Amino acid sequence: MCAKKALGRGLSAIIDDVEEAYRQDIDDSSELVKEIDVDIISPNPYQPRSYFNEEALSELSESIKKHGLLQPIIVIKKGDKFMLIAGERRLRATKLAGKETIKAIIADIESKNLRELALIENIQREDLNPIELAISYKELIEEYSITQEGLSEIIHKSRTQITNTIRLLSLSEKTKQLLSNGKISQGHAKIIVGLNENEEESIVNTILGQKLSVRDTEQLVRKIKSSSKPREITKKPDETLQNGLKSLKIKLHEMGLKSKIGKNSITITLDEQVKIDNFFEKLL
């Protein structure tokens, strides 16, 4: 328990370091900020983001052309070059804008924290696609041996949101790719989690082919789950028991009593006191 708490505090401290760097009133004269040649900055190998929206990058690039880069990237020194820690979208957009240099904070961070910083910076500041976000959550949980509840407290996301996001990793590779590319929404994906492979493929094809809304998808999945429930097996009447009930019915009739045979039972009608008395006499 103590080890997990310590790791949790370490993770929280990393977040605080990044947040503090961005909270400071940074301007061109700040000692924290340097102007670095974009060509000598290498990417962080632990960057979880694998897909960058070209349209969004183009919009950010135009903003940088007009207003400059308002939020510096974070790098660490690597020999006579630098490695990017946080801000890959900003770096890509700056290059796209034709800029040769970029504002950067040169951090002094141990290499063992590079992976965590890349993951956290993306979780906190960028819109990762749902699958990339799920992978980031999963890696942080495994790296620090913390619970989803623990991660929730550290990154200030609800445990339910973390749980539902991680569950997306159980989808098929094809479905995860469609989700990553925006072909289906996270709302669609959450609904089909838990279906078997054939059902999942069928639903996804229907979503794409008929352009189903999330609500339509939910109704379709509910219908599939309902039809796939095992039906109750109706037991056949026991033949020996039925024969016995028939014999009993004859005896009761001879006693002047009305009776009715059910599936595996017999009902005797005693609608007069005298019949009840006679019945007890026979029993005794």
Cα–Cα distance for residue pair 277/284, rounded to 1 Å = 11
Statement: the pTM of the whole predicted model exceeds 0.75: no
Q: Is the pLDDT of residue 11 over 80?
A: no
Among residues of the chain, what percentage have pLDDT more than 90?
19
pLDDT of 51? 60
The one-letter amino acid at 7: L
- CA nearest 242: which of 223, 266, 224, 273? 266
> What mean pLDDT comes out for the span 53-66?
80
Cα–Cα distance for residue pair 265/256, rounded to 1 Å = 19
pLDDT of 213? 92
Report the catalytic residues: 88
**Least confidently predicted of 21-25, 46-50, 243-247:** 21-25
Cα–Cα distance for residue pair 167/150, rounded to 1 Å = 17
Structural domains in the chain, CATH included, are 2-155 (3.90.1530.30), 172-227 (no CATH), 239-283 (no CATH)
Confidence grade of residue 165 (pLDDT, cut at 50, 70, 90): very high
Q: What is the pLDDT of residues 71-97, one digit of tens each?
A: 788 888 888 888 887 778 888 888 888
DSSP β-bridge partners for residue 259: 268
Among residues of the chain, what percentage have pLDDT more than 70?
72
Q: Is the pLDDT of residue 189 over 90?
A: yes
Cα–Cα distance for residue pair 104/75, rounded to 1 Å = 7
Rg of the chain (C-alpha set): 34
Beta strands 266-269 and 258-261, pairing class: antiparallel
DSSP 218-237: HHHHHHHHHHTSPPPPPPPP
Between 218 and 246, residue with greater pLDDT: 218
